[in-house]
Amino acid sequence: MSGTVTQMTETLLAQLKSETFVLLSTVDAETGGPTSSAISWVYALNASTLRIAIDHRSRLVENIKSNPLVTITVFGEGTVHAMNGRAAIALDLLPNIPFKLCCFDISIEAVRNALFYGAQLSSAPQYIKTYDQRASEKLDGQVFSAMQKA
């Protein structure tokens, strides 16, 4: 994928409709500087909209409320995708979750290949959850269900 497009490819869309992790970059509300965090509660609503859920205790919530410009970085399709967009609150409090989560929709304005020239990812990064597997699956199920209904 070269150049700039405004929608995700079918492969990237499929990846973001199942459990994956991304890097969320925001502008820090206090310092005005860039900040980046890995998140896994991300879901593609369609080719031009992502939905994310963030714990209300996270600085990311205030960052996005102060400045809605965000970048989502995704590792997939043999490359690194940087998706720039604007976030807006979809639901300030997701229901039926054991703690307070804020749900944002991100309108994608640009999708770029962010991997340096002449490189290709040989594999996508993988992660494992280090806490109770059953609790993790239950919570993820609750969050993704609530996100899809928001």
**Kind and range of the H or E run holding 140:** helix 133-149
Which pLDDT belongs to residue 1? 43
The answer to whether the Cα torsion of 130, 121, 38, 147 is positive or negative is: negative
Query: Which pTM value belongs to this model?
Result: 0.92
Degrees, nearest 5: CA angle 30-92-105: 85
Degrees, nearest 5: CA angle 149-21-119: 135
What value does the mean pLDDT take over residues 81-89? 97
Q: What is the C-alpha separation between 71 and 83, in angstroms, rounded?
A: 5
pLDDT in tens, 25-84: 999 999 999 999 999 999 999 999 999 999 999 999 999 999 999 999 999 889 999 999
Q: What is the C-alpha separation between 94 and 17, in angstroms, rounded?
A: 19
What is the DSSP pairing of strand 4-5 with strand 22-27? Answer: unpaired
pLDDT in tens, 101-125: 999 999 999 999 999 999 999 988 8
